[in-house]
Structure 1
Amino acid sequence: MDAQNPSTDTVVVGRIGRPHGVRGEATVEVRTDDPGKRFRPGAVLRTVPAERGPLTVAGARWHREVLLLAFEGYDSRETVETLRDTLLEVPLADLPALEDPDDFYDHQLVGLAARLTDGTPLGEVAAVRHEGADLLVVDRGEAGELLVPFVTAIVPTVDVPGGFVVVDPPEGLLDL
């Protein structure tokens, strides 16, 4: 599941963080549920800001639970530092069609209205996190953000054409 960049025909699949070590690796905040495919060596990624890319993945490895990437032409800590906070994107056209009707790309979910089962507005899906479990980040305005586990028992309805998701929260979820 990837997050669509609202200003283009691309989806954000990651964000480059701080350098790791001295050999030109960077930490990456993963924003896709298929990092093995998106960040395989040889993959070419668009960047925001655009003048930093495109970037070609030279190597990828996991260090504990952090993805480390190396990019062609960036072979030192100092050169990788220049990429910090760069968003990594792929074209929407490169995404395969989803076979399961209960699967969604992140960009399809972001921006949907979130409402309770009785129709009461809850907020808007601002992001999707992949942190062991998929979580919808619902922006509740002044009430802050709410993290909603994206499982059928709690989000029984996703209506992308209708522009909403239905949340059936377990007791206490709205109090967090």
Structure 2
Amino acid sequence: MGTGSGIIPLVLKKHFPQARVSSIDFSEKALETAKRNAEFHRLDVNFIHADYLNFQPEEVFDVIISNPPYIGIDEEHEIENSVKGFEPMMALFSPTSDALIFYRKIAEDAKKYLQDNGLLFLEINQKLGPETLELYLPHFSEAELIKDLSENDRFVFGRK
């Protein structure tokens, strides 16, 4: 969820050519870029244009990977202009005051649409590590926070 330029789904498809890879994004512009990148690299990825928060998957997945908008709207003043000038605002900031809105939806979808023993990889807001992890603990056999090189909570890994 959150295609952007397509780097994550394209690298996955490149390294796992037999895998069926789907990627969803709300931004038509991001999807156009991702499709051009897929064509350039001759990779077949299923790109979906939809609002993930109102989207119902139609299949079950072995792996879910996402780097959704995770910065709270109240944190905008803390983000460097160089970051805000490079990334579209919708890719950075939660569309509501709930910075975990995408993670709540991913957690609900993972209960239904992630295979048993399936894997989950999420980039998260470093300020909300424990709160984000808590969303996955009840439904996963293992779930953990992983720190980045600066020792900030940066990822949630889970196995259902």
**If the length of structure 2 is used for normalisation, what is the TM-score?**
0.28
Greater percentage in helix: 2
Greater percentage in strand: 1
**If the length of structure 1 is used for normalisation, what is the TM-score?**
0.26
Computing the radius of gyration from Cα coordinates, the structure with the larger value is 1
